[in-house]
Amino acid sequence: MSLTNHHRIHVLWHRYWQRNEGAAAVEFALVAGLLVFMVLAILELGLIMLISSGLEGSAHQAARYGMTGQGSAISSEERENGILEAAAKSLPDFVDPDKLAVDIISYNEFREIGKAEPYEDRNGSGEYDPGDTYTDLNGNGQWDEESGLAGAGDPGSITVYELHYPWSVMTPLFHNFFTDGVLDLSARIVVKNEQYDQ
């Protein structure tokens, strides 16, 4: 009788012990998984911060190249290539410089940035229509919703440099928060071109 009881207790204890071992294994897996996830997230955040500060530097380099009139004597395409090259130098080594996009728009005045060319709404439609008179700020012979012109501009122009770098998010879960898993990193700088041709 006592032996059977003994045996029973032993079996119960053994089962209990096994069950706890299983729970510990599950707990360990959860904690380890969470730890790996956190380490990945922190590492990636570090990379993102590196690229972001790199982009700020890139914007300065790009603007510096453009505002001093470097390459302004050659074709606008070559000038833009020069600006892109100058920008790419400030990026960390692990990024792909071919993915860097630099949008450059120049204006005559600071206050024109992002504005439409002014027009007189003659027909009262609340929008520009052919026949409404307008001020051709960028001198391209037509009314524009964006009064700037693409490119690094002329001496004295106000130029906006906007840099974008698409970062493919690697950390699982976080990846899903972004369209196609891509985080758009950007930097922007506005400068006044020097009077470089004088």
Q: Which residues bind Ca ion (CB under 5 A)?
A: 121, 123, 125, 129, 132, 136, 138, 140, 144
Strands (E), 47-175: 101-107, 119-120, 133-134, 149-150, 158-168
Tokens of 124: 């009262």
Name the minimum Å distance from CB 130 to Ca ion: 9
Residue nearest Ca ion (C-beta atom)? 125
Q: Which residues pair with 39 in a beta bridge?
A: none
Q: How far is the CB of 139 from Ca ion (least distance, A)?
A: 7
166 C-beta neighbours (distance < 10 Å), count: 16
Minimum distance from CB of 127 to Ca ion (Å)?
5
Report the b/e string of 42-57 with b at 16+ CB within 10 A: eebeeeeeebeebbee
Amino acid at 134: Y
CB nearer to Ca ion: pick between 98 and 120:
120
Q: How many residues does the chain have?
A: 198
Q: Which is nearer to Ca ion, 97 or 118 (CB)?
A: 118
Which of 107, 108, 62 is CA-nearest to residue 85? 62
Q: Taking the complex as a whole, how short is the minimal distance between the CB of residue 148 and Ca ion, in angstroms?
A: 10
The amino acid that residue 33 corresponds to is G
Phi and psi at 76, nearest 5°, equal -65, -30
Least Å distance, CB 113 to Ca ion, is: 15
Closer residue to Ca ion, CB minimum distance, 134 or 174: 134
Nearer to Ca ion, 149 or 152 (CB): 149
* Closer residue to Ca ion in complex, CB, 82/112: 112
